[in-house]
Chain A
Amino acid sequence: MIWKDSISFKYLFSAGSGWVFLKWLIICLAGIVVHELVHGITWALYAKKGFRSIKFGVLWKYITPYCHCKEPLQIRHYLIGAITPFILVGLLPAVYAIITGSINWLLFGIFYTVGAVGDFLIIKLLLPEKRNDYALDHPSEAGCYVYRKIPA
């Protein structure tokens, strides 16, 4: 075990006060906001109207926050925007945790990697599409309309 001192049950439960729980709750909620913000920032980079085309909200039916891009994006750009939150909010904290031996960052990375499953499923749906075609984010469902250029 590389970081055996930081991953013991003693460590996890010794810090188990209400304040630590509250701190984790705040960090998790902030992470959700950051995840959606990263979607928005990345898509805004490729959208003609920039951030004016980005809308944030919550699907209360599923208690799921969302980021919606109102204008069509090339599928390559849509895919970049879909994967970036996993890389920045899920993978990088996990890599940082492995390097530093931080159990807190490891839990954060695990939480937001699993939280990106919806994005992975959308990416899987779009992978067979041509990168130059367009994806228009659906305003109320998790997914998009794909617009394929009909060969002349």
Chain B
Amino acid sequence: MPAFFIKIERMEESRLNDEQFDSGYEKELKIIDIVKANNIGLKLLIPTILIYGLPFI
């Protein structure tokens, strides 16, 4: 699907979602960086192995 149509679809989805709330709500976007998350995952690999592997030692 061309990017243009994807963008419109997402805008419509976003608008539809907004309609589920009345004006009594404030909205904030909270997203994470997937690349950063993957890097943190790699950094946590050794500590996780050590913690889970501790009973084996």
Contacts and interface: CB of A to CB of B under 8 A. Distances in A.
B34 A72 contact: no
Q: Is the contact region of chain B dominated by helix, strand, or loop, or is it mixed? A: helix
B13 A141 contact: no
Given A121-B37, A126-B30, A145-B30, A106 B25 contact: no
Contacts of B52: 94, 97-98, 106, 109-110, 113
Contacts of A118: 32, 34, 37, 41
B21 A113 contact: no
A47 to B, nearest CB: 12
Number of chain B interface residues as a range: 20 to 34
B21 A110 contact: no
Interface string A53-76: 000000100101000001110000
A31 B37 CA distance: 19
Q: Is the contact region of chain A dominated by helix, strand, or loop, or is it mixed? A: mixed
26 contacts: A2-B56, A7-B56, A71-B20, A72-B17, A72-B20, A98-B56, A114-B41, A117-B38, A118-B37, A118-B41, A121-B36, A122-B32, A125-B30, A136-B20, A139-B10, A139-B13, A140-B10, A141-B31, A142-B32, A143-B30, A144-B30, A144-B31, A145-B27, A145-B29, A149-B24, A150-B25
